[in-house]
């Protein structure tokens, strides 16, 4: 499996490093290492939303939700958001 970060997820990562709260580098490295688990176990995350062609899944890492999609041999990381963020607005 290949992991691809979408533009919104890259922005989310940048805001973790440079944003208001500025998470420690070790937190972000741990998050990225956790995402690598998806290469071996792409369906480990909880199913959030199902479309006709694929499903949106969620993986939790400490204080953040990793929103991703498995398509063929690719894992698309769509968002990396704080656990307190309401996801309803993203799937309308």
Q: pLDDT (tens digit, 9 = 90+) per residue, 35-55?
A: 999 999 999 999 987 665 568
Domains present along the chain, CATH in parentheses: 2-85 (3.30.2310.20)
Q: Is pLDDT of 60 > 70?
A: yes
Answer yes or no: are the C-beta atoms of 55 and 66 closer than 8 Å: no
Q: In the structure encoding, which two tokens stand for residue 83, read together?
A: 């656990």
CB count, 10 Å around CB of 66? 21
55 or 7, which is more confident: 7
Whole-number pLDDT of residue 52: 58
Whole-number pLDDT of residue 26: 86
Q: State CA 84 to chain mean position distance.
A: 14
Q: What is the mean pLDDT of the chain?
A: 88
77 or 89, which is more confident: 77
């Amino acid at each position: 499996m290949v992991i691809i970060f979408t533009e919104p997820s890259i922005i989310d990562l940048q805001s973790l490093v440079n944003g208001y709260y500025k998470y420690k580098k070790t937190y972000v490295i741990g998050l990225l290492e956790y995402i690598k688990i998806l290469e071996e176990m792409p369906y480990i995350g909880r199913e959030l939303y199902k479309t006709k062609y694929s499903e949106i899944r969620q993986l939790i890492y400490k204080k953040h939700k990793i929103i991703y999609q498995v398509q063929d041999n690719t894992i698309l990381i769509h968002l990396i958001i704080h656990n307190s963020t309401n996801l309803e607005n993203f799937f309308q």
